[in-house]
Amino acid sequence: MDRNTVIGFILLAILLFLYLFVSTKNSQELQVQKKREQDSLALVKRFQDSVRIANDTAVVAAVAAQGDTAAIARPIIREERFQTVENEVIRISFTNKGGQPSAVELKNYVSGNGKPVILNGTTFDKISYSVNSGQGQSAQVGELFFDTATITRQPDGSQTIAFELPLNDGKLIHQFHLKPDSYLVDWNVQMNGADKLLTQGAFNLIWQSRPMQHEKDAAYERLQSTICFYEDNDFDYIMSKASHKFEKPVQWVSIAQQFFNITLIAGNSFSSGEVSWIKNAEDTSSVIASATANLQAKLPLGAMASVPMQLYFGPNDYKILKRQAPEMDKIVNLGRDMYAFVRPINKYIVMPVFNFFGSFIGSLGIVIALLTLFIRLLTSPLVYTSYLSGAKMKALRPEIEKLKARLGNDQQQVGVEQMKLFREAGVNPLGGCIPALLQIPIFFALYSFFNSSILLRGESFLWADDLSIYDSVIKFPFYIWGLGNHLSLFTLLATGTSFLISVYNMNMTPDQSNPALKYMPYIFPFILLFVFNRLPSALTWYYTVSNVITLVLQWVINNYIIDHDKILANIEANRKKPKVKPKWQERFEEMQESQKKLQETKKKPNQRG
């Protein structure tokens, strides 16, 4: 029993460490990111300077073309004006500079510092594309000033705001449409005189976004942030990778933080492009990342052209995202890459059960406890099989000890004799290990769910102020490697109950001959302390409840359900039955015999010498 449990725990720890390793960068990548950030900032500055010079030249040339040569010496006047459009869930401030949203407030959410959640609110954030502003002149639309917008309201409560900009014997129109109770903004770029505004119908969009901190732990939020996209009818993302080049049509691109995202959706897919970002894991500022997307589309040649798009500013809510665009719900990380196999568990078991309990229970801490109880009941047949196998192994323990005493240090022969003993008694030595392994996917499913569920954000339970982040009962004035600057009480409870489970298993099936088993009750909980301390308190609370249920089940099953006398009687009855070796067992014993003969052959020359 104890060996099987240890194997399951070790594999669980290895997989968890592997997940954390894949989700982080090594030190060499961090140095490369720092260098790339410096180069990118310098490039952005040069780009902005060149745009400003080009726009000034274009405006001066346009004035001069009208014969007002005196105006060339006058300063160019620019005035940025803001207008607000809002519904029940968002408030959008539009600017006439570039004719686009300048800041978006999510009304139903609050940042970790108590302030409103503001998306797209930095000077870095903008959307632009190049147009021909005059003879041999070009300009970036994001730097041009549109006329003051007109706002119209429809009977259904939706609102439309439209910006216009006469340019190069044509006109640019940016029209935005916001529906009631929606995070999605319809955006239509209309070009009158597109044949003059664009060169060969090339529409090259540049989207810059700098998401800021909204959670209490900026470093953890930065770790969970990704760039997601839908390319060639397939969802994909980048996390630690710095860039991705679009070789096939892309329908949408999303800058996704832990619980919020901004997504640009194309009505007609962009044909090509590239997305890149800088996300420095060592950065202690409130900047999560700096992302830039370059997207290209080819418009039909003609005097009139239209580019339909949509902008999503909102939460990473599975139900909401599922209604926006194909596979946008995958922005919510319910299992990706090597852990994609746990996504169905979350979609069809964890989420429905969690939502069912949450529909009539106000405390999400109680909902998590009930979810844990449901999962443990669902897996109870596996648990019973594991404990029954452990009881059988315990019944054979005296005979195994006699084998070890008789054969001494010949571990090879001990293994052969143990397999014969198991076969005679009808005991499967893997009976306790396999059920433990089958429970690992459930743990990783819940790890993904609790890390990404916005329903937990801001929900308090017991001493935890926010179930989506660790509960910090003790704060250190300094940083401790592996722990950080805090200590989580739920983590202490989770590791403490894990220690009790290990000790209980050791007492049930003692084996002091193996030092690894002897110290495992102390090693594994110690590892968990460092792994769990930074994780959401919802996950450590789940693990604590699960451990308590395990202790209760172990005690009840071993004392009231499993009949140890009956097990001994069944073992004796199995010994009297004719035995048919499974093929795997035959091959295993053949391998052991071959190794034994090989060792004896090696010993003979030494004996002659």
**CATH number, domain with residue 132:** 2.70.98.90
Could you tell me the pLDDT band of residue 584, with boundaries at 50, 70 and 90?
low
- As a residue count, the chain comes to 609
Question: Poorest-confidence range of 85-89, 165-169, 540-544?
Answer: 165-169
Q: Which of residues 240 and 40 earns the better pLDDT score? A: 240
Residue 444 lies in a domain: no
Q: How far is CA 110 from CA 213, 314, 454, in A?
A: 11, 12, 12
User: C-alpha 548: how far from its chain's center?
Assistant: 28
Q: Check pLDDT > 90 for residue 235.
A: yes
Burial group, residue 584, by CB count within 10 angstroms (0-12, 13-18, 19+):
exposed
Instruction: Tell me the average pLDDT across 367-374.
Output: 94
What's the domain range around 200? 22-64+81-332
Residue 372 lies in a domain: no
Identify the DSSP state of 584: H
Instruction: Tell me the average pLDDT across 3-12.
Output: 62
Q: Check pLDDT > 70 for residue 190.
A: yes
Q: Please give the Cα distance from 337 to 487 (Å, whole number).
A: 31
Residue 281 lies in a domain: yes
Could you tell me the pLDDT band of residue 61, with boundaries at 50, 70 and 90?
very low
Instruction: Tell me the average pLDDT across 124-145.
Output: 87
Residue 301 lies in a domain: yes
Residue 534 lies in a domain: no
pLDDT at 245: 92
Percent of the chain at pLDDT exceeding 90: 36
Residue 45 lies in a domain: yes
Total domains present in the chain? 1
Mean pLDDT, rounded, of the chain: 79
pLDDT at 17: 64
Could you tell me the pLDDT band of residue 281, with boundaries at 50, 70 and 90?
low
Q: Check pLDDT > 70 for residue 66.
A: no
Across 426-440, 482-496, 562-576, the highest mean pLDDT is recorded for: 482-496
Across 35-44, 280-289, 548-557, the highest mean pLDDT is recorded for: 548-557
Could you tell me the pLDDT band of residue 351, with boundaries at 50, 70 and 90?
very high
Q: Check pLDDT > 70 for residue 367.
A: yes
Q: Check pLDDT > 80 for residue 438.
A: no
Q: Please give the Cα distance from 432 to 418 (Å, whole number).
A: 16
Q: Check pLDDT > 50 for residue 60.
A: no
Q: Please give the Cα distance from 324 to 295 (Å, whole number).
A: 20
Instruction: Tell me the average pLDDT across 214-240.
Output: 90
Residue 219 lies in a domain: yes
pLDDT at 76: 44
Instruction: Tell me the average pLDDT across 362-382.
Output: 88
Q: Please give the Cα distance from 551 to 295 (Å, whole number).
A: 56
How large is the angle between the packed helices 2-22 and 515-532, nearest 10 degrees?
30
Residue 17 lies in a domain: no
pLDDT at 347: 92
pLDDT at 294: 93
Q: What angle do CA 372, 377, 381 make, to 5 degrees?
A: 135
Q: Check pLDDT > 80 for residue 191.
A: yes
**Token output for 190:** 């209309």
pLDDT at 507: 65
Q: How far is CA 585 from CA 93, 410, 418, 511, 565, in A?
A: 71, 20, 12, 25, 28
Q: Which of residues 515 and 166 earns the better pLDDT score? A: 166
pLDDT at 577: 61
Phi/psi of residue 270, nearest 5 degrees: -70, 140
Q: Check pLDDT > 80 for residue 566.
A: no
DSSP class per residue in 133-153: EETTEEEEGGGSBPPPPEEEE
Contacts of 203 (CB under 8 A, 6+ apart): 129, 296, 297, 298, 299, 307
pLDDT at 101: 94
Beta partners for residue 23, in sequence order: none
